[in-house]
Every structure is written in C-alpha cells, then in structure tokens.
Structure 1
Amino acid sequence: MAALRLGPLLRYVDEDTATVWVETDGPCEAEVRCEGSAAGGTARSWRVSGHHYALITVVGLEPGTETPYRVLLDGTEVWPLPDSDSDLPPSVIRTPQPDGRGELRLAFGSCRWAARPADSHHDAMGPDALDALARSAFAGGTLPDVLLLLGDQVYADETSEKVRAELAERRDLSEPPWDQVADYEEYTSLYYESWLAPHVRWLLSTVPSCMIFDDHDVIDDWNTSAAWQRDIRATNWWRERILGGLTSYWVYQHLGNLSPGELAEDPLFTAVRSAEDGTELLREFAERADTEPETARWSFRRDFGRVRLLMADTRAARVLSEEHRAMLDDDELKWLREQALTAREEYDHLLIGSSLPWLLPPAIHDAETWNAALCAGSRGPRWARLGEKVRRAADLEHWAAFPSSFDSLTELIREVGTGAEAPATLCVLSGDVHHAYVAEPDLTRLPANTPDVAGTPGTPPELRSRVLQLTCSPMHNSIPAFIRVGFRFGWSGAGRLLGRALARHGRAGRPPINWRLTGGPWFGNHLMTLTTHGRSARLGMTRAKATARGVRLARILERALSPSGGPVRD
C-alpha cells in the first residue's frame, strides 16, 4: 500500500476548481474527497527518478465556500495524518467569490532556510515567518487567500547538518560539489526538509501557493554573467546540478503554478505521466531550458478575480552576452508586455512578481549600472576585468545591472499605469535582498524626445495608477550586521552621492526615473500582505516574533493604498 511522503500542497484554486500536489512512496491512485460535498478528484501517480507524484484536479467546488478535504491513496486515507497533532485544523479549499467580488488577501515573501546551514557563522535567524503565519491562524488570526513565494524556497548551496549527513551517505563530501546538492535525488532531501515541518505542511495544504525560483534554488548568483556561466559549465559537477535543479523545480514548484487547462495542454506533462519513468524526458527538457532558454517558459500568469499576477522569470530567461545583456529575453519581454497590456479593463490591480527588486536603494542601483558599464567596456579592458570580479563578489546582478531591461520594465509600468484603463495599483513584488521596504517612483519624467500619448513632446502622460516597489525578504534567514548598515547607507543622502559618482565614473548615465523610500527598511523575518477589494487596496507588514505565548506574527505596518493616497510610512 502506498504511503504519503510529502504534501498535500494546495496549489491552484479558482471559483470551482483546485489542484492538489502530493508525493507518495509508490505507484497509486491518489484521490481528494471533500467533506459534505460532491466535489473531488482522482489522478494516477507518475514517476521521476524513482519518486512518485500526483497532481489531482478537484472539480465541483462551489464559489465562495470553505470545504475541508481528505487525501486517499488506493482508497486508504493518508491525510490528515493518523498521528497528526491535535492542534492542526482540517485542511480546506477556500474558493473565491464569483466575478471577482469580495476581498482578496495575498501574502508574499522570499528567502527561507528550513534549517540553519551547517557551520554557519551568521547571526541568529529568529522564528520562521511561515511557521508563525500558521500558528497565528491557530490563535484566531486570518489566513491569506494566496501565498506568493518569490524565490529561494530551498538552498541548494547552503545545506543543514541533517541534509549534509544524508549527502555523506551517498558520496565523498571532500569532492565537488562538496556539501552542496549534486543531483535530483539530493534535491528531494531539500524539499522534504523544507515542507515537512508540521505547521508549515498544514499551511501549504490549506493556502494556495504560487512559486518562482531565484538563485539559491540552484546556486548563489545563478546566471550572473556570460563569464560566470562559462566558468561554471567548465566544472565536472555543474551539469548534474543544473539538470537536477531544473527538473526538481518543474516537479515540486512549476507544475502547481499552472491551471488545469494549461496542464491539459502541456505536452511535457502528458508525456511524463504516460511514461514508465519520466526522468529522461525531463532531463532533456532541462538541458534545453538551460542552454536554449527561449525553449522554456517558467513565467506564468494567474488571475484572482480583478487582480492579475504576472510572475516573471528573472533567472533562467536572461541574455548574458555583454553586447546584448538583458534580464528577460525578447520572447519573455514580449510575453510580459502582452499579459500586462491585454484586456486591462479586466483587472483593477496588476502585480508583477520579480524575485529581484526593480527599484533598489539608489546607491546600490548606481553601483550596479556603473559595474554593468565597466563590464561592457566603457573604460577599457582592464576595468572590464575588474568589473567582472566586483560583479561576482558583490552580487551586482539585479535589474539595475541590466540597464536596457530596467528601462523596458519602467516604460511598460508607465504605459500600463496611464490612460482610462489604468489599474488602481501596479505593484512589483520582490524579495532576495534580505530586508523589506516600500519604494515609490516618480514616473512623470519622460526620457528625452519621447512624445506623450497625445503626441506632444516633453509632456508626460497622466499617471493614474499607484505604483509601488514592495520588497519582502527574508521569511527565515539571518541578517548580518554589515547588510543592515549597507542597505541603510544605500538609501541615505550620502549613499546617493556616492552612487552618482560611481555612475559618472562608469559613464553610465542617469536612470530614467527617480524614486524614494516610503516604508522601511525593516530587518527580520517578514511577510507582506496586499489586500484588495474592488479598486481599493491595503498594505500590511508583519514580523515573526517569539512571545510568551509562542511564535506569532506581529503587525508593524498597515496602510491604505489608493492612486491619490499619501506615502506609505511605518
């Protein structure tokens, strides 16, 4: 009899349909049964590298309802766990109101260590924000309707003592890739560690989730530059790492981002389910996705009533040649533009999910544009070689390090935010940088010689949307003191002056917009929540804290967001 190994994870939910992902220890028929309802679904498991999975489509749900569910394998109930803690409530599927009516709460964050890496010299981590979210719900708090995980769900390059012990049973850790994960099998250990903690497991079983990778899901500073890529591809261990990373991401994260309709039309998913073992199919796909990024799309769109989420792949879709450096290749940028500009009347709020912030502290933005200019040869070959060393050492590879892409995203946001069909809010949701903040751009300044929508040069169009950079990181990680000092300096007046001096040295020019810090910076383990109702929106910020009553989320900010509202302040 098959047993439940990992999950269930509630992934996609709309008014009457949901998907539930599970991993089992053998082939089986997986079933979801809903309490007091005819809703449910079954799926036959499929196999990858000796592991068995099922993605069950649940149909027949009623809009605007909360339905408890159970998971059965070959007719035997395996969830809730027979010996589960009594304080864990039933797992439920909550469907939205029809036609986008009602309130929507989206919680988001990034960068989560399940456990401290072995031999870590970092500061204390503090409580886990996902664990705190679950425990706060048990104490009467409100769960979000959707959880957006914006990268670094697992750390392939920073493993815990428990995982390292498992790796040591398979191979010699004195050989590359040492105590980092090497292949698909070792990636599974990361997901077990990350998703099996009881409260987090329950949370992921009852709150729908959307996910995208960032660098640590594969390796620190993944796809920083063409030179970085050449160097790592020359090693004897990288090919298995990248194939294991992309294949496991497809299985554990990517599939659940897709709707049942998209899954039904996905030829790779169909082929994997039909194969005796889908390993070689997925390895071939992962090889193409790494060497020919245009053959795979990890970006995706989700509509939650009148809220549209566009989750952008800012890692695997990069163009790395210094002559044509871009955060998104042409196909990805075209897709992002089409999804943002098509049928704007159908949404009131646009969310662009980017694991890396669009708007950084100004000093860091200018340092990255300076570095990009040096690496492109603005001051000759010697400075270019130095620039590459600095880029890798200082992690200078955000949107600012791809200046043409920064400009393209800025112009897309400006275009979407103007005109009669502009959404009430347009937010870029990001993580990565191990602190949280709110930044607001001034989009009224047009680039030189750019006509407005009426064709009058030099007159900016009227911006109708409230545009915000919302950055929330980490959910569970350490915040070394030097990072706190560096980011505070990056927002300071002195930091701005230093950044401008660097940009002038690199002949990088000025960014097309200005922006200011209007919330934060905050340090600790956080979750941000964006709550929408009609064309209104509210921003909430919570920090995980250990209290006498246990781990909880403490509110540190709540503000209304309206197109004409004042700045967000903590």
Structure 2
Amino acid sequence: MTGLRLGPLLRYVDGSSATVWIETDRPGTAEVRCADGSGGTARTFRVAGHHYALVEVTGLTPGTTTPYEVFLDRARVWPPAEDEAFAPLPPSVVSTPGAEAGATVRVAFGSCRWASPPAGESDPVGPDALHGLAARIAADPDGERPDVLLLLGDQVYADEVSDATRAYLGARRDLDDPPGDQVTDYEEYTHLYYESWRDPLVRWLLSTVPTCMVFDDHDVIDDWNTSASWVDDMRATSWWGERVRSGLASYWVYQHLGNLSPRELAADPLYASVREHPDGTEVLRAFAARAEADAASVRWSYRRDFGRVRLLMVDSRAARVLAEGERAMLDPAEAAWVREQALDGRGTYDHLLIGTSLPWLLPHLVHDVEGWSSVLTRGDKGPRWARFGEWLRRAADLEHWAAFPESFGELAEVIAEAGTGPDAPATVCVLSGDVHHAYVAEPSWDTKGPGHGPGAAREGARGPDARVVQLTCSPVHNSIPPSIRLGFRFGWSTVARGLGRAFARHGRLGRPPVKWRKTGGPWFGNQLMTLTMRGRSSVLRLEHAHAAERPAPGTDAGQPGPGPEVRLRKVTETGLSG
C-alpha cells in the first residue's frame, strides 16, 4: 500500500481552489477529500527515486474553513490514525478568502530555521517559533491564524547539518572527502526536508496554514552567488556541480511548485514534462544545470494577491548579475518584471509587500561597508584593494542589496513609483530575514539632489505617499551568536554611522537615494512577525517563542508530546497605517 512520506503541505489557496503537496513512498494516485464534497486527485510523479504529487483542490466555497483528508490509492493516510503524536491536534483545514471588500488579511513571516530536534531532546537554540504558532492554532482552531505564512529563506541548511544528519551522511560516504559533512546530492537534500518537515507540530502547521517560500544562501550553501570569483572558485571544485544542481532541483520540487497558482502550473512546460516522463530526473537536472549557468533562463520570483494585499516574492540569490562592473541583484529582465508587477493595477491593492530574503535597509555602517567593498572589488582603487575587497566581501558576508548599489537605487525607485500618487497603496513593506535578528527601519527620500554615483539622489525627486518600512524578522529557529547581537546594536549607533561615512568617502560613494532610521529593535530570539491588514489599515506584531510549563492533565495542552510547551509572547505591536 502506498504510504505518505512527507506532507501534506497546504500551499496555494484562493477563493475556490487550493493546492496540496505530498511526498509518497511509491507511485500511486493521491486524493484530497474535503468535508464539503470538494476535492481533487493527481497521479504521483517521480524524481530520483522519490514520488510526489501536487493535488489541485477545486470546488471550494469562498469565505469558508473546510476540513480535509488525504488518501493514497483510496486508503486514508492523513491524518495518520496510527501516530499518537497527531491525536490531540485538530483536523487540517483549507480556509478560503471571502469576496467581501476590506476583508482582514494576516501575513506571518520569518526566515532561518534549523530543524527542531526530536521530542524529548534538548534544543540547543531554544524553542521553535513555528512550534509556538502551531500550539496557538491547535489550542483555538477557530481563533486568529495567518492567512499565509511566508518563509523567507534558509528553510533547510545544506552546509550546517544536525548531528543526526551528520551520522546519516557518514553512513553513505566518507566525510573526509569534500565537502565533508555537507549535503552533496538530491538524495541527501530529501533527507534535509524530511528532517525539517517531519516534526509533528510543524507538519500539522504546514498542512493547515498556506505557505509561500523563497530560498536564501543556506538552502544551497553559505555565500551562494556572492561574486563572480566566488562562483569560479566553486565551479573549480569536484563537488559543486552536483551540489548546486541538486539544490535547485530539490527546491523546485519541495518549495517552488507550491508557490504557483493552478493556472501557472498548467502553463509550465517543465512541470508538464516532469509529470509526463516515467522518471523526470534527467529533465529536472537539465533544467537545474541551465538555471545555474544562466540566471536569466528561469524566474524564481512570483506574485500573489490576497484580496487587496499584493505580495511580490523576489529572488535575491539566483537572479544576480555578478560580473564586476555589471553587478546587479537582479538581471535586467527580472528587474523589469518586479517593476511591472508593482505597478500593475495600482489602485486595486491597498498594501504592497515585497518579500526578499536579504534586507534592503541595513544598519548604516553595514550599508556603507558593503558599498565600499563593491567599489574596491570593481578595481577602482587598484588590484591590491580589489583583492582585499573580495576577501572582505566573503569574510563578512557583504552581499545584501547595499553591495549592489545600482540595484539598491532601482528598488528605491520602484517603491517610490508604486507608492506615489492618488492610486498609491497605504503601505509598502519590504519583508526580509537572513540577519538573525529583527528590526523596523523607515526610509525618507532625499529630495535635495543631485548626489553622485550609482543610485544617487536626483534633484526634484519626490518621496512616496505610502508609508514605507523595512521589516526584518529572523530567525524562526536558529542560533544568535553574541557577536551578532553586539555588531548589529553597534551598527545602528551614531558612532557607527560616522565610521560608515568614512568608508563611503574613501570609496567615493554617492549619496543613496533614501535616508533611513531604525524605528524598532533590534530584537533577538526565535521569532515571527505578523502583519494584520484590513482596508488601508495595517498593524505589525512581533512575537518571541518561549518555553512554558505544560498545563496540568485534563486541561487543553494544545501541543502534543513530551517537554515544555512552546508559546509565542508578544514583544511589540504597532500600527503602520490607518
């Protein structure tokens, strides 16, 4: 009998349809049956010995919450009746948005999540914020829950594995051979996803809250696509080709497919080809090889509309142009797509969310050092400075939007254009992670011009009418070294800002098109942010995960399994508009 290996993951949801992703242990027919009679079926497809299905559920009623079950070859596999860990949890549901104007939309987001250790084992990095979210929803299924959960990168760590995964890798091959205790191929990537998403609470959460995902560097390797010379060095190794192809192929299967709407899936020739082949491995490997060799050959970015909230999830890793003198965070076609999607139908959305794994606005010292390093590595100060700039860029992870000055300015222009005029949204929020802490930063457009250099202010420029904020939230479940705490606290200080200006002067950097200030944070801990938007109002909430004593027997514990209960505790809540 066909069994369920991983999932279900509830991915795309609109008023009448949804997609549900699963991995099975053999070929078969997957079926999702909803309590109201709606549902859908799909045959599994095969990649590298693994079997998957993405089931399109149709016939849903707008504005309803409908329990569902998953069947494989007509046998029920979800919820798993034989697993006691799932017994206290409510049914998985599909909640569809209603058609009424001004409906509330809740978007929770964060990034950087190591897999939680098995129940009963100590957690070296503290409680998992996803556990806290799952426990809250399980304890009150009819209460507040996100309409969508945005996972903004580092869903798995291919280069920083757990002790259990290290033992698994050691049983497959000699860890003295490069790349040592890092994953090398597709099979090892499937183990990472299995470890991360098999956790009962997380598995149930992902089955009942829709998710949108995008990769960051650790989904492949730390510093992925930092520079052209970095890529050359990696391609010279014996193992990189297999690693990056496997990383992109597994990302397409486990994360990217679910980001797409049924209409986009139906028009995707790669998805059709993989499903039509008895084994889609070589088709997918060829695609991954093209994607690694030519960033412009694939678009990982996508758009989702949730009522009057628009989300643009922007690929800020694989879409880069890395040749010195031409460096850009996004290739020209990708940059044009972002602008087109931001401006399309202005007036039909009240809030614009730009999801990018890497923060746009950083502490001023970090921003200036990243811009300075880009000048050095370009060769403006000579070959010695260029070598130093490249070393610094890699050693200090100087690879955010600030390290691509033209792209930093272009994003500022898109935000200003989208946020200006009578059809402007109430807010434009840049949602990011990566930096293992949380903060809020607000830009103001420099209209004094003309400035100098790439992305410099232009005379006569006008700031947007929308309120613009950078919202950074990380990690969901990871370590926060003391050096990060100290470094980012200092990075926002007046002394650090003056030091950053010295670097900017040395590099002859022009004045950026925006000024900005930190208006919240920094906050450290395992955490999630939530935006609650209704009409033109928007409220931001930040919550930390905390361990708490489990309720006494006979009470509603909410969270199954041994060990302490994990709860989310509100740190701050503030209105952004309205």
Question: Could you say which residue in structure 2 is the equivalent of 1:453?
Answer: none
SS in 1 for 2:354: strand
1:156-181 CA distance string (max 9 Å, x none): 00111111111112111110111000
Alignment of 1:277-426 (within 5 A): 277-426=279-428
Kindly provide the amino acid, as one letter, of the partner of residue 49 in structure 2: G
User: How big is each residue's C-alpha offset from its partner over 1:60-112, in whole Å with a ceiling of 9 and x where there is no partner?
Assistant: 00000000000000000000001233211100000001155421100000000
SS in 2 for 1:213: coil
Distance 1:116 1:395, change over 3 A: farther
Q: What is the CA deviation profile of residues 321-346 of structure 1, one whole-angstrom value per residue up to 9, with x for unaligned ones?
A: 11100000001000000000111111
Write out aligned runs for 1:119-518 (5 A).
Answer: 124-140=124-140, 142-445=144-447, 447-448=449-450, 458-461=459-462, 463-518=464-519
Q: Is 1:423–1:465's contact at 8 Å kept on the other side of the alignment?
A: yes
SS at match of 2:347: helix
| Matching of residue 107 in structure 1 with residue 145 in structure 2 | no
Q: Is 2:566 the counterpart of 1:551?
A: yes
Quick check: 2:419–2:425 contact (8 Å CA) kept in 1?
Answer: yes
User: 2:379, 2:17 → 1: CA distance?
Assistant: 53
Structure 2 residue identity aligned to 1:22 = I
Q: CA deviation at 1:299?
A: 0.3
Distance 1:230 1:470, change over 3 A: same
The 8 Å contact of residues 444 and 463 in structure 2, kept in 1 or not, is answered as no
CA contact (8 A) 2:103 2:534 kept: yes
**Letter matched to residue 567 of structure 2:** R
SS at match of 1:194: helix
1:460 Cα shift?
A: 4.1
The CA distance in 2 between the partners of 1:72 and 1:389, in whole Å, is 53
Bigger shift: 81-90 or 318-327? 81-90
Task: Give the distance between the partners of 1:416 and 1:447, measured in 2 at CA.
Answer: 21
1:197 Cα deviation after fit: 0.3
Task: Quote the Cα distance in structure 1 between the aligned partners of 2:281 and 2:38.
Answer: 32
- Structure 1 residue 132 displacement after superposition: 1.1
- Distance in 2 of aligned mates of 1:138 and 1:75: 27
Gap change, CA 1:40 and 1:116, over 3 Å in 2: closer
The residue identity in structure 1 corresponding to 2:466 is: S
Deviates more, 1:158-167 or 1:477-486: 158-167
- Amino acid corresponding to residue 216 of structure 2 in structure 1: D
CA contact (8 A) 1:115 1:160 kept: no
SS at match of 1:334: helix
Deviation at 1:298, TM superposition (A): 0.3
TM superposition score normalised by structure 1? 0.95
Amino acid at match of 1:129: A
SS at match of 2:292: helix
Amino acid of the structure 2 residue aligned with 1:516: R
Q: Distance in 2 between matches of 1:459 and 1:317?
A: 31
What's the counterpart of residue 32 of structure 1? 32
Call closer, same or farther: CA 1:68–1:533 in 2, change over 3 Å: same
Runs of 4+ in structure 1 deviating by more than 6 angstroms, as ranges, are none
Q: Report the Cα distance in structure 1 between the residues aligned to 2:384 and 2:463, rounded to whole angstroms.
A: 45
Query: Tell me, what secondary structure is at the counterpart of 1:336?
Result: helix
1:446 to partner: Cα distance: 5.8
Aligned to 1:19: 19
Aligned to 1:50: 49
Does the CA-based 8 Å contact 1:378-1:507 persist in structure 2? no
- Alignment CA distance shift 1:23-1:380 (3 Å): same
**TM-score, normalised relative to structure 2:** 0.93
Change (3 A) 1:462 1:239: closer
Hey, what's the Cα distance between the residues in 2 that align with 1:446 and 1:411?
16
Q: Which amino acid aligns with 2:12?
A: Y
Distance of 2:101 and 2:131 partners within structure 1: 29
8 A Cα contact 1:376 1:384, kept in partner = yes
The 10-residue stretch of structure 1 (136-145 or 525-534) with the greater mean CA deviation from structure 2: 136-145
Counterparts of 1:116 and 1:326, CA distance in 2? 38
Deviations 1:274-316 (A, max 9, x none): 1010000000000000001111000000000100000000000
Is the Cα–Cα contact under 8 Å of residues 444 and 463 in structure 1 kept in the other structure? no
Deviations 1:169-195 (A, max 9, x none): 211111011100000000000000000
Q: Counterparts of 1:458 and 1:237 in 2: how far apart (Å)? A: 50
SS in 1 for 2:88: coil
Counterpart of 1:6, as a letter, is L
Cα distance between partner residues in 2 of 1:221 and 1:554: 33
Distance 1:350 1:142 in 2: 22
Deviation of the 1:52 alpha carbon: 0.2
| Deviation, structure 1 residue 417 | 1.0
Unaligned runs of 5+ in 1: 118-122, 451-456, 564-570
Structure 1 counterpart of 2:127, which letter?
A: P
Give the whole-Å Cα distance in 1 for the aligned partners of 2:101 and 2:2: 39
Q: Letter of the 2:3 partner, please give it.
A: A
**Distance in structure 1 (CA, Å) of the matches to 2:92 and 2:519:** 38
Deviation (angstroms), 1:449: 8.5
What's the CA shift for 1:447? 4.2
Q: Which amino acid aligns with 1:501?
A: A
- Measure how far apart 1:461 and its partner are: 3.2
Q: Partner amino acid for 1:93? A: V
CA distance in 2, matches of 1:393, 1:262: 40
2:10 alignment counterpart: 10
Contact 1:100/1:304 (8 A) holds in 2? no
Shift of 1:238: 0.2
1:75 maps to: 74
